[in-house]
């Protein structure tokens, strides 16, 4: 970690933050977009809304969902709208979003980093319960990824892909494609990244696949 990284009095060192919006692209939306973003720290988040800053300790976040939707403005200004919705442990929700450049990877990186921070919680659940739900139709266990009705070919039976058998992971158009082997049979699992809880579960998959 950069020794010069910003330090939050409650949350420790900053891991990363989202980029500011482009003034040339945003025009009238500059004031809103330029001040909307996420700061990711070791033990919490700071959400920068248009008129306020909101602090979220990691333990206050139950899970979250995100979306990045590409759009075209005035026929030639390619951009995207990024939104992250945090479901809090007290039952409430809070949202942050901005219009961003089409090549801005910082919002996706923020989702991946927060997902990794929350993945430890899922790892503990897998250790104690043996199996935890990830997204609709998919669960994670010590043995691998359990899926039903998500595979190419329409197989309705539950398929288990061992983490060691996951050959390739790629994201395309905000969908995750997992290529793996199920009992020697090549299988492709496609998951919508906008589903609630996707990023913490993906963080756990990354950890277990690398173990």
Cβ proximity of 71 and 40 under 8 Å = no
Q: How confident is the model at residue 103 (pLDDT cuts 50, 70, 90)?
A: confident
Cα separation, 61 vs 74, in Å, equals 38
Q: Is 85 helix (H, G, I), strand (E, B) or coil?
A: strand
Q: What is the structure's pLDDT at 35?
A: 63
pLDDT digits 0-9 by tens, 22-55: 333 344 443 434 468 999 999 999 999 877 899 9
Cβ proximity of 184 and 49 under 8 Å = no
Q: Which token pair is 21?
A: 């919006």
Q: What is the structure's pLDDT at 27?
A: 42
**Residue-averaged pLDDT of the chain:** 84
Q: How many residues does the chain have?
A: 211
Of 29-43, 59-73, 87-101, 125-139, give the lowest mean pLDDT range.
29-43
Helices 198-210 and 106-129 pack at an angle, to 10 degrees, of 70
Q: How confident is the model at residue 173 (pLDDT cuts 50, 70, 90)?
A: confident
Q: What is the structure's pLDDT at 153?
A: 52
Portion of the chain with pLDDT greater than 90, in percent: 53
Whole-model pTM: value is 0.84
Of 18-27, 81-90, 128-137, give the lowest mean pLDDT range.
18-27
In the predicted model, is pLDDT for residue 89 greater than 80?
yes
Q: What is the structure's pLDDT at 164?
A: 86
Look at 48 and 71; give whichever has higher pLDDT: 48
Q: What is the structure's pLDDT at 24?
A: 39
Cα separation, 58 vs 141, in Å, equals 23
Cα separation, 57 vs 184, in Å, equals 43
Q: Is 33 exposed, middle or buried (0-12, 13-18, 19+ CB in 10 A)?
A: buried
Give me the residues paired with residue 56 across strands: 45
Query: Quick one: CA dihedral 7, 12, 16, 19, positive or negative?
Result: negative
Of 24-38, 72-86, 140-154, give the lowest mean pLDDT range.
24-38
Cα separation, 195 vs 56, in Å, equals 21
Picking from 147, 126, 125, 149, the residue whose alpha carbon sits closest to that of residue 138 is: 147
């Amino acid at each position: 970690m950069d020794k010069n990284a910003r330090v939050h009095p409650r949350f420790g060192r900053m891991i990363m933050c989202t980029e500011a919006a482009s003034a040339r692209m945003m025009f009238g939306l500059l004031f809103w977009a330029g001040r909307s973003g996420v700061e990711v720290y070791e033990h919490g988040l700071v959400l920068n809304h248009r008129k306020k800053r909101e602090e979220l300790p990691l333990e206050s976040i139950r899970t979250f969902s995100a979306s990045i939707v590409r759009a075209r403005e005035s026929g030639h200004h390619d951009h995207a709208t990024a939104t992250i919705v945090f479901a809090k442990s007290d039952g409430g929700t809070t949202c942050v979003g901005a219009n961003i450049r089409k090549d801005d990877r910082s919002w996706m990186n923020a989702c991946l980093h927060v997902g990794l921070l929350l993945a430890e919680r899922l790892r503990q659940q897998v250790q104690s319960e043996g199996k935890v739900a990830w997204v609709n139709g998919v669960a994670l266990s010590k043995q691998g990824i359990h899926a039903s009705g998500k595979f190419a070919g329409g197989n309705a039976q539950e398929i288990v892909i061992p983490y060691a058998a996951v050959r390739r992971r790629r994201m395309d158009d905000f969908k995750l494609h997992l290529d793996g082997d199920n009992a020697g049979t090549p299988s492709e699992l496609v998951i919508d990244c906008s589903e609630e809880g996707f990023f913490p579960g993906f963080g756990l998959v990354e950890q277990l696949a690398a173990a």
